[in-house]
Each structure stands twice: as structure tokens, then as C-alpha cells.
């Protein structure tokens, strides 16, 4: 089974074999019929989607040139603002929040003719690796509904894996696009920090957050990123860099680094086998395999779990029921305490308290400043590695999707699911996960990393791998 690409969808609409309205109607009907078993969507935007589709059909009828994503259905994560629609970050404290303006990425999608179908489930404030901390609902893996879809952008990954939409947007702070992409057997891309605007995204860790994509192919990811990426006057961290063409997808002459530190004890043996098989496929296709050592890799996860909670505790200070969030009854003091006490879930409270402790006067130098120094060293280590290789390859996650509820009482085990993805966020480099086979009848993800602002190299390697394999054509039957 093969899901249609973006270009195939546009060709169908342009040729008149289908209309944008028919496509949207069938998409909404499919979601209503099947999503009850998966829980990918929190809400569909039926009226807006049909209105957007009608506008595309009018363009087709007029013979005008169509925009690059004309009629393509896209889902957005619940932390992305779309004016007039709810954006709750799947938290009880924002349960009634309606966006007053539209995020840059959504605005650019609409400007390119995409149809915003609805918002998808996520871990509360993007804190989690399984989409189980959502205050709204559970999301189940389309490959096996007893398993988690990954997180924090699990709803978007599940929506694409199930074939509801060809594209979904997620946010990736420590692996929240790539890890669920691996768990659900789709392509998940995290661009270099700054290549996509964060304006209108509910912040978790401002120096780590980056908007990413879920698709079925690296080519589709590249097309969507070329639309949503680039400089934005509303985001001072965004860079003025156009997205280049993905080079002809080939491994011929490509230097692929294999860091020994990413093949650790505790990795599932079947996952290890799939990754080794993928490396052999690349070698046979002409890639130069280069053994690497990245000695600071073991420090990436602890560094991340100092920097991210510190930034989260600062970013979430505004949700007090007065400035933002649902107001609790009682006196001023009681309202503050109750709004945050009842509005935040256990994982969010855990990270706020951890971050507040890290930033406190007695521990700031010992923890936060030291973590920033390690971050600089990790970035330098990657910079040095990318002088020797074009891309680095690794597993996306150390195992496959686990059982619903299995790790909810063990935060450390949950955090370890991101052990191979957090370094890219710390260093601000590009990363993409592509399907590379099955282990225990569940998808395995292969991660390509490329240097900062060298995203096209990661996309090239991913596209080359997909050209010589068919794992991306295997889909769940849910």
C-alpha cells in the first residue's frame, strides 16, 4: 500500500480528477470513521477546511496558477496557534484558550494553499515521550493500538501513519518529532534551530524548540519545509536562509559517519540489527562509511534535562490563571496556587519544580551554567565531526513502541527513550528519522543528522535511503 505524495494530490486536483472539496470531505469522513480507535485528532476544522477547499477549487476553475500545496490536507499540533481555534497544549490550564492570532507556520501553509484539517493530540506542554501526559485523551499507535505512538507529537505521527493526512506539523524540543515518527513508521524531520519560525508556538524550551514535519517521504518534507521555513520578523532567532533543492538522492560519494557511542548496551537487539542492515545497504549503494567517536554523547541527556526544565519553568510562569490560563476561585493567593496546582499535570509539575531548583541562587552555577558549558562542547564536537563526514547515522530510538502505561510510573525510563535525539536539539543541528524495517512487528527508525544549516544533506541521505528501500511503503492496517 502506498499513500499519495503531495505532488500526486496536487496533480489529481489540477487535472480535475478530483476536487479539493471532495478530498477534504473524504478526509473528514475518514477521520470520523476511524480515528475513534486511534485518537490522533482533538478536533477537526470542518467549516474552515471546506471554505479553504472551495477557494482552491475556484482557482482551478479559473485556470489560475495553483499555489505549491494547493488542496493538501495538513494537521497541526495543539501547541500551534490558529486564530479563532483552540490551542491548549493539551493542558487543563489552557482548556478554554482560543488563539487570538495565527502562528507563522500555519499562516505560510494557508498562503501556500494547504488545507488545515485539525489539531492533533500531544503530551501536555510537549513534556513527554508517549503522548500519555495529555490532559485531553489517549492516542494509540496505528500499528498496534496497545502501544504508545511516541511523543510528544504522537497525534501528528499517528495521523500520518494511519493515512488520515499526508502531512502533519509537530514541534521537536528533544526528539518530539523524530521519536514518534520512528515509533509510527513515518518520516519525521527536525530542521536546524532557526530555519523555521517559532512565532505562535506555545513555548517549552525556547533555545531547543523547533517546528518539524511528519510525511511519508523526505521529498515531501523538503517541500513543506521550503514553504514554512525562512526568516520571520516576528522571531529574532529565525535565519534568512532559503531552502535549497535536495540534491539527486544518491549515496555515491556521501560520507556517512557511524558514532560508536550511539550503539549502547540496553538497545533492543532487533533494533540494532535493523540499523546495521541499513548501514550495509548504504555501503552497497556507494556510501563511504566512516567510524566516529562522539565522547560527549553520554552527557547529552543529563544536559538536556537541566536546560529544558529550566527554560520550561520560566516559560510556564505566565500560566497563573491571571495572565494566561483558567482562573481558579478564591483569594489572589489561593487562585494562583489552585490554578497551577490543578491546571498542570504531574509531569509538568515535576519539570517546573526541577527547573526552579536548577535556577535557584544556590544551584544556578553548579547546574545551569555547567550544562551550558557542556552544551557548547557538544556543539563543537558535532562541528568537528561534520568536517569529516556529510551526515551521521544512528538509531532514532533504542527500542520500539512500548505498551500503553508501561513507563508512566518511571520518568527516567521515559526520558531514556530520547537518548539518541536530544543531542541534535542541544547542538541546534538537523535530524530526520526514516523507517528502516520492523522489530517485534513494530517500526524502527533510522536517524540522519547533518550540521547546522546543512539540512539538505540530511534530506538527501534520507531520500537516497528511501529510493533503495521500501520500508516507507509498509503501513498499518488500522
What pLDDT, in 10s, does the model give residues 82-139? 999 999 999 999 998 999 999 999 999 999 999 999 999 999 999 999 999 999 999 9
Tell me: domain 1-478, CATH 3.40.50.300, correct? no
Catalytic residue among 91, 134, 152, 217: 152
pLDDT in tens, 445-463: 999 999 999 999 999 999 9
Q: Provide the pLDDT for residue 328.
A: 80
pLDDT in tens, 309-323: 999 999 999 998 888
Range 204-233 average pLDDT:
97
Q: Provide the pLDDT for residue 75.
A: 98
Structural domain spans, the chain: 1-478
Q: What number of helices (H) and strands (E) belong to the chain?
A: 15, 11
Q: Provide the pLDDT for residue 389.
A: 98
Q: Provide the pLDDT for residue 227.
A: 97
- Assess contact for 282 and 289: CB atoms under 8 A: yes
Buried b (16+ CB within 10 A) or exposed e, 15-47: eeeebbbebbeebbeebeeebeebbbbbebbee
Sheet with 255-259, side-by-side order of all strands: 41-44, 115-120, 73-77, 167-171, 211-215, 187-190, 430-439, 442-450, 391-395, 255-259, 288-292
- Please tell me whether residue 112 adopts helix, strand or coil conformation: coil
Range 44-68 average pLDDT:
97
pLDDT in tens, 339-393: 888 899 999 999 999 999 999 988 999 999 999 999 999 999 999 999 999 999 9
| 192 or 241, which is more confident | 192
C-alpha cell belonging to residue 44: 477537526
Residue 1: pLDDT over 80:
no
Range 170-195 average pLDDT:
98
Q: Is 452 exposed, middle or buried (0-12, 13-18, 19+ CB in 10 A)?
A: buried
Range 55-77 average pLDDT:
97
Q: Provide the pLDDT for residue 14.
A: 94
Q: 443 CB contacts (<8 Å, ≥6 apart)?
A: 143, 182, 183, 184, 185, 400, 401, 435, 437, 474
pLDDT in tens, 246-283: 777 899 999 999 999 999 888 999 999 999 999 999 99
Q: Provide the pLDDT for residue 420.
A: 97
DSSP β-ladder status, 167-171 and 187-190: unpaired
Q: Provide the pLDDT for residue 249.
A: 86
Buried b (16+ CB within 10 A) or exposed e, 274-295: bbeebbebbeebebebeebebe
pLDDT in tens, 462-476: 999 999 999 888 888
| Residue among 153, 148, 99, 147 at smallest CA distance from 126 | 153
Percent of the chain surpassing pLDDT 70: 99
Percent of the chain surpassing pLDDT 90: 89
Peptide bond into 152 cis (omega under 30): yes
The count of other CB atoms within 10 Å of the CB of residue 463 is 24
Question: pTM for the whole thing?
Answer: 0.96
Catalytic residue among 19, 77, 394, 407: 77
Q: Provide the pLDDT for residue 477.
A: 61
Q: Is 62 a catalytic residue?
A: no
- Assess contact for 171 and 201: CB atoms under 8 A: yes
CA distance 251 to 56: 38
Q: Is 176 a catalytic residue?
A: yes
Mean pLDDT over each residue of the chain, to the nearest integer: 95
What are the Cα distances from residue 287, in Å, to 60, 177, 220, 290? 44, 26, 23, 9
Residue 478: pLDDT over 60:
no
**What does DSSP assign to residue 472?**
G
Q: Is 32 a catalytic residue?
A: no
CA distance 201 to 345: 20
CA distance 402 to 78: 23
pLDDT in tens, 175-187: 999 999 999 999 9
Residue 31: pLDDT over 70:
yes
Q: Provide the pLDDT for residue 265.
A: 84
CA distance 329 to 319: 15
Q: Is 232 exposed, middle or buried (0-12, 13-18, 19+ CB in 10 A)?
A: buried
Range 237-251 average pLDDT:
86
Q: Is 453 left (phi over 0), alpha (psi -120 to 50) or beta?
A: left
DSSP β-ladder status, 211-215 and 167-171: antiparallel
Catalytic residue among 91, 92, 130, 176: 176
Amino acid at each position: 500500500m502506498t499513500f499519495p505524495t503531495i505532488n500526486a494530490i496536487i496533480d489529481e486536483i489540477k487535472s480535475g480528477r478530483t476536487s479539493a472539496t471532495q478530498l477534504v470531505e473524504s478526509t473528514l469522513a475518514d477521520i470520523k470513521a476511524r480515528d475513534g480507535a486511534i485518537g490522533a485528532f482533538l478536533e477537526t476544522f470542518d467549516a474552515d477546511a471546506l471554505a479553504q477547499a472551495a477557494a482552491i477549487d475556484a482557482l482551478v476553475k479559473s485556470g489560475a496558477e495553483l499555489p505549491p500545496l494547493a488542496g493538501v490536507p495538513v494537521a497541526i499540533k495543539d501547541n500551534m496557534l490558529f486564530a479563532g481555534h483552540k490551542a491548549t497544549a493539551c493542558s487543563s490550564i489552557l482548556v478554554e484558550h482560543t488563539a487570538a492570532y495565527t502562528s507563522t507556520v500555519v499562516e505560510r501553509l494557508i498562503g501556500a494553499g494547504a488545507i488545515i484539517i485539525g489539531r492533533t493530540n500531544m503530551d501536555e506542554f510537549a513534556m513527554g515521550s508517549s503522548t500519555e501526559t495529555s490532559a485531553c485523551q489517549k492516542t494509540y499507535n496505528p500499528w498496534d493500538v496497545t502501544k504508545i505512538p511516541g511523543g510528544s507529537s504522537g497525534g501528528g505521527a499517528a495521523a500520518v501513519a494511519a493515512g488520515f493526512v499526508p502531512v502533519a506539523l509537530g514541534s521537536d524540543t528533544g526528539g518530539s518529532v523524530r521519536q514518534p515518527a520512528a515509533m509510527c513508521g513515518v518520516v519525521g524531520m527536525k530542521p536546524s534551530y532557526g530555519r523555521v519560525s517559532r512565532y505562535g508556538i506555545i513555548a517549552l524550551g525556547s533555545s531547543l524548540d523547533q517546528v518539524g514535519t511528519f510525511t511519508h517521504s523526505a521529498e515531501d518534507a523538503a517541500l513543506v519545509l521550503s514553504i514554512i521555513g525562512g526568516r520571520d520578523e516576528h522571531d529574532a532567532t529565525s535565519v534568512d536562509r532559503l531552502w535549497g533543492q535536495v540534491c539527486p538522492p544518491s549515496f555515491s560519494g556521501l560520507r556517512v559517519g557511524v558514532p560508536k557511542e550511539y550503539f549502547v548496551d540496553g538497545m533492543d537487539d532487533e533494533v540494532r540489527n535493523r540499523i546495521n542492515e541499513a548501514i550495509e545497504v548504504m555501503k552497497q549503494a556507494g556510501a563511504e562509511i566512516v567510524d566516529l567517536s562522539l565522547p560527549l554523547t553520554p552527557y547529552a541527556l543529563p544536559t538536556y534535562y537541566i536546560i529544558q526544565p529550566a527554560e520550561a519553568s520560566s516559560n510556564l510562569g505566565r500560566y497563573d490563571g491571571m495572565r494566561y490560563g483558567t482562573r481558579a476561585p478564591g483569594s489572589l493567593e489561593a487562585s494562583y496556587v489552585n490554578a497551577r496546582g490543578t491546571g498542570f499535570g504531574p509531569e509538568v509539575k515535576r519539570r517546573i519544580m526541577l527547573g526552579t531548583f536548577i535556577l535557584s541562587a544556590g544551584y544556578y552555577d553548579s547546574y545551569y551554567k555547567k550544562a551550558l558549558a557542556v552544551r557548547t562542547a557538544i556543539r563543537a564536537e558535532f562541528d568537528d565531526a561534520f568536517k569529516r563526514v556529510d551526515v551521521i547515522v544512528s538509531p532514532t530510538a533504542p527500542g520500539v513502541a512500548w505498551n500503553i502505561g508501561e513507563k508512566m510510573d518511571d520518568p527516567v525510563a521515559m526520558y531514556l527513550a530520547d537518548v539518541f535525539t536530544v543531542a541534535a536539539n542541544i547542538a541546534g543541528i538537523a535530524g530526520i528519522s526514516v523507517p528502516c524495517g520492523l522489530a517485534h512487528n513494530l517500526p524502527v527508525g533510522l536517524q540522519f543528522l547533518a550540521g547546522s544549516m546543512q539540512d539538505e544533506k540530511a534530506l538527501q541521505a534520507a531520500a537516497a535511503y528511501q529510493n533503495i528501500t521500501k520500508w516507507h511503503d509498509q503501513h498499518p492496517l488500522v
